[in-house]
Amino acid sequence: ALLLGLVGVCYLQFTHTSFSTSTEFQLGMPLIENIPHVYGPGFTFIEQALHGNTSFWILALLIFLKPLATSLTLGSGNSGGVFAPSLFIGAMLGGAMGGLFSAWNPELAGPPGAYALVGMAAVFSACARAPLTAMLIVFEMSNDYALILPLMLTAVTASYLAQYLHPESIYTVKLVKRGVRFDQGRDKDIMQGVQVGEVMLKEPLTIYKNQPLTELYRQFQETNLLGFPVLDDNGALWGIVTLLDLEKALSQESVGLPSLKVEDLATVDPLTVFSDEPIWTAIQKMAPRDLARLPVVSRQSEKKLLGLISRSDILRAYDVGIVRKQRGQLLEKQITFRQEQHNDFVEFRLKNGHYAVGKRLMELELSTFINVVSLDRESVLHIPRGGTCFDAGDIITLFGRKNFLGPTRERFFSGKEEKK
């Protein structure tokens, strides 16, 4: 597994090495003419390796020639993939190792084809950092349950070793080369950082349990809401009633609707959530029961209604969590940039009467030493462009040379630059 992981890292290094040139590139032709095994995906020769019909020396030679041929093909601008070559290299290395083990101890060693299968999974897992995918692909090819444990062990070990030696996969390394990077690791659930009280509907419309059904019908028609918390005579939470409850009552012709009250339809002692609990707690209560809303109560008194949280509020909570995550990432970058001696950040809020309000960024004619890195408008982060128009209440973040930050901020406020 360790050897297969190392080969996967080496193959990754080979494939993102560029050999491009301005003239027609023909170095691969002698290689293809003399050793046709490296041409194309090589599935035919993989099948021969799986059946153990290939000599050790051919397998060993192809371990080095296939990455070279792939690198020359991709680096010269020709079309080609990286998935099939990784399977090919794994099969060659696995088959070669299987041949060595069979020659050393034929009784204990299994067939070389089994080693080739395991090698395919391990090398692809090391290149793509996808051990589960590699295991499923190879298991589907073999349909042999006896290979499950070897596949799991080699694929996971090779993937972890490759991750330790090279942080990027065969698919992300090209993006990194172009300056596109993805944060590694599992992010903390952003819904854990948003409390129910931050997004709940405060002071929701309510109805009392002793009110007639006609009043409930009128409120549903006037508000277009789908549910109301139900209060008792003392104003404490008693239950909850929904439009579905009313529709069920209307469908029963035998029931005397004029004589019914809200308490005859409402659900008593509904599930509730506290305002200081994370949104994730509300989701865990609502999702399994297909609830559309939950009353929010106080910890001091579970009958004191503080608000109502619905599915739309949960979607808004996700937006709040995303903004907080973006702000955290921005703060981390600000700390990193501030380590540079001559650069810094400054943040300020625009107010009515400021020069920049109502103007586009291009109209301000800012210094080339200053970047407007973000615009926070109603808790939504934006990346300002030349045509971005500023409004009162916008929070502007500038980054650049320290001696230019003050004059630039004054430019936003008054339209003039301070003389330093």
Take residue 3 and report the two structure tokens written for it: 């050897």
Take residue 398 and report the two structure tokens written for it: 């500038």
pLDDT, tens digit, 9 for 90 and up, residues 310-328:
988 888 888 888 777 777 7
Assess contact for 231 and 305: CB atoms under 8 A.
yes
Average pLDDT over residues 109-135: 81
Q: What is the pLDDT at residue 46?
A: 74
Which position has the token pair 């002692």? 269
pLDDT, tens digit, 9 for 90 and up, residues 149-200:
888 888 888 888 888 887 778 777 777 666 555 655 444 467 777 889 989 9
Q: What is the pLDDT at residue 386?
A: 86
CA torsion sign for 119, 122, 123, 125 is positive
Full-model pTM = 0.43
**DSSP codes joined into one string, 40-94:** SS-HHHHHHHHTT-S-HHHHHHHHHHHHHHHHHHHHTT----SHHHHHHHHHHHH
Kindly list the structural domains of the chain, giving each domain's residue range(s) and its CATH number in brackets, ordered by start. Answer: 2-177 (1.10.3080.10), 192-316 (3.10.580.10), 340-414 (3.30.70.1450)
CA torsion sign for 139, 144, 145, 147 is negative
In terms of Cβ atoms closer than 10 Å to its own Cβ (0-12, 13-18, 19+), residue 131 is: buried
Q: What is the pLDDT at residue 268?
A: 92
pLDDT grade for 356, boundaries at 50, 70 and 90: very high
